[in-house]
Amino acid sequence: MADAELATEIVPYQRWYSRAEELSRDYAAGQPFPVVVMDDFLNLAVASAACSTFPPLSNDRWIGYIRVNERKFGMRDREILPVPIRTILDELNSDAFVELVTAITGIPGLRADHSLEGAGLHQCDRGGFLNVHTDFNVHPHRPNWRRRLNLLIYLNPVWDDAWGGQLELWDEHMERCVRRITPIFNRAVLFRTDETTFHGHPDPLECPDDVTRKAIVLYYYSEEAVAPRVRSTNHQARPSDSLTRRALIRLDKLALNIYDRTKRVVGFDDYWASRILRSLSRRRPGG
C-alpha cells in the first residue's frame, strides 16, 4: 500500500485515468502528428521538489551537446541525480506508468528504458537551441527496440514567450511550423516519434543569464521481432535558413551519423565523449 500511495503522490493516476478517453482522442487527433499536452502533470509538491533540486549547469556531470545543430546539456546517471528527480524517473519508468501511457496512445507492448539513453534531464542556458529534427529510431544497446514515444516534462517556474524556447512541431515536409508549445512548469508533452515527426526549439534562447530551460525527458520503445534498420537523428534546415546554414546542418548531421553508428559498435558513452571534447577545447590556443 505504501508503494501505491507513493506512486499516487508522484503521478495522480486517478485524475489521468478519469480523462484517459479524452486524452486518447486528443493524442490521436494531434497535429501535425499524434501529441497530447497535459498541464499540472505531476503532484505539485513533487514537481516543486524536482525543480528546486534540478542540478545547475556548474555541475561537471552534465553532458555537453555543443554542435551546429544543438546547444544543450544532458544528464542521465541515475546515481548522481537528486532524490526527488530520481524518484520521478523511477515512477515514469514503472509498469504502472507505462500502462497509463498505453491507455493514452493505444500502443501495445511499450517498454521503458531504465538506462535513459539520450533521456534523463535536459537543460539549455541563454543561447541554447535544438534544431528541428526527427529522433534516432533504435535503442543504442538493444537493436530490437524501436523508439515509439517521447515524454517531456518541463520544470520552468517562470517562462516568458519572448525568450523563445517553445517546442515547435513541424509538418512532415518541413515546410512550416504547425504548433508551438510553451515549456511552462509541470507541463507534460507526450508525442509519437518516427521518421516524420519533426520537432525542436531552433532559435537561440533569449532568457536572462540566470534562467535555464529545464526538462525531464523519457523515451518509450517497443520490442520488434526483426531488428529495425537504424536511423540516426535527422536534423533539417528550415525554409528560412541560408544556403550556408543548410550546408553546415547537413555536414553536422553526417558527423553525428558517423558518431552514432560508431557508438553502437564500440560502445562509446556520451559522457566520456563530452569530457574529451571539453578537454580538447581547453587545450586550444586562446581556449
- pLDDT at residue 271, as a whole number: 58
* H or E element that contains 75: strand 70-75
- Which of 47-51, 71-75, 117-121, 277-281 shows the lowest mean pLDDT across its residues? 277-281
Is residue 285's pLDDT more than 70?
Answer: no
pLDDT digits (tens, 9 = 90+) for 184-194: 999 999 999 99
pLDDT-derived band at 1 (thresholds 50, 70, 90) equals very low
- pLDDT at residue 270, as a whole number: 64
- pLDDT at residue 287, as a whole number: 33
DSSP notation for 247-258: HHHHHHHHHHHH
Separation of first and last alpha carbons in the chain:
56
Q: Percentage of the chain with pLDDT > 70? A: 89
Is residue 275's pLDDT more than 70?
Answer: no
- pLDDT at residue 105, as a whole number: 98
pLDDT-derived band at 122 (thresholds 50, 70, 90) equals very high
Is residue 3's pLDDT more than 90?
Answer: no
Rounded CA gap, 196 and 70, in Å?
19
Is residue 36's pLDDT more than 80?
Answer: yes
| Cα dist from 54 to 85, 103, 238, 244, whole Å | 8, 30, 32, 37
pLDDT digits (tens, 9 = 90+) for 215-254: 999 999 999 999 999 999 999 999 999 999 999 999 999 9
Strand partners, 63: 74
Round the average pLDDT of the chain to a whole number and report it.
90
Rounded CA gap, 46 and 66, in Å?
31
**CATH of 2-283 given 2.60.120.620, 1.10.3720.10, 3.30.70.870, 3.10.105.10:** 2.60.120.620
Is residue 284's pLDDT more than 80?
Answer: no
pLDDT digits (tens, 9 = 90+) for 156-209: 999 999 999 999 999 999 999 999 999 999 999 999 999 999 999 999 999 999
Q: Percentage of the chain with pLDDT > 90? A: 83
Is residue 2's pLDDT more than 50?
Answer: no
Q: Is 287 helix (H, G, I), strand (E, B) or coil?
A: coil
- pLDDT at residue 148, as a whole number: 98
Q: Is 164 helix (H, G, I), strand (E, B) or coil?
A: coil
Q: In the chain, where are the structural domains located?
A: 2-283
- pLDDT at residue 262, as a whole number: 78
Q: What is the mean pLDDT of residues 139-151?
A: 95
pLDDT digits (tens, 9 = 90+) for 249-270: 999 999 888 877 776 776 666 6
